[in-house]
């Protein structure tokens, strides 16, 4: 039987812009990130291989500290900010 599941663990995330590449690199400090020219795609090395992302996408850090890109449309549908 197919069941539905919801993510219950909070994650840290940062939205990528051409103004915060340094901050993104610090956020994902243990992973290799290559930024392309503004308007072109970028890459991040993950345990599954290199993954592409664009400006205004998000980089998510999971519970093990690994970072993954998430398209902005998917991020907005999947996550909401945790109230402090």
Report yes or no on 5 lying in a domain.
Answer: no
| pTM of the predicted protein model | 0.85
The 10s digit of each residue's pLDDT in 13-65 is 999 999 999 999 999 998 999 999 877 899 999 999 999 999 999 999 998 99
Task: Say how far apart CA 79 and CA 76 lie, in whole Å.
Answer: 6
Domain count, the chain: 1
The 10s digit of each residue's pLDDT in 28-40 is 998 999 999 877 8
Q: Kindly report the length of the chain.
A: 84
Sign of the torsion angle spanned by Cα atoms 64, 10, 53, 29:
negative
Token reading at 60: 């998510």
The parent domain of residue 44 ranges over: 12-78
Report yes or no on 1 lying in a domain.
Answer: no
């Amino acid at each position: 039987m197919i069941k539905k599941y919801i993510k219950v663990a909070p994650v840290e995330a940062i939205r990528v812009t051409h103004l915060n590449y340094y901050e993104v690199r610090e956020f994902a400090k243990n992973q290799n990130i290559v930024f392309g020219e503004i308007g072109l795609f970028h890459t991040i090395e993950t345990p599954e291989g290199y993954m592409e992302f664009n400006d205004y996408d998000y980089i998510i850090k999971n519970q093990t500290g690994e970072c993954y890109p998430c398209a902005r449309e998917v991020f907005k549908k999947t996550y909401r900010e945790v109230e402090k």
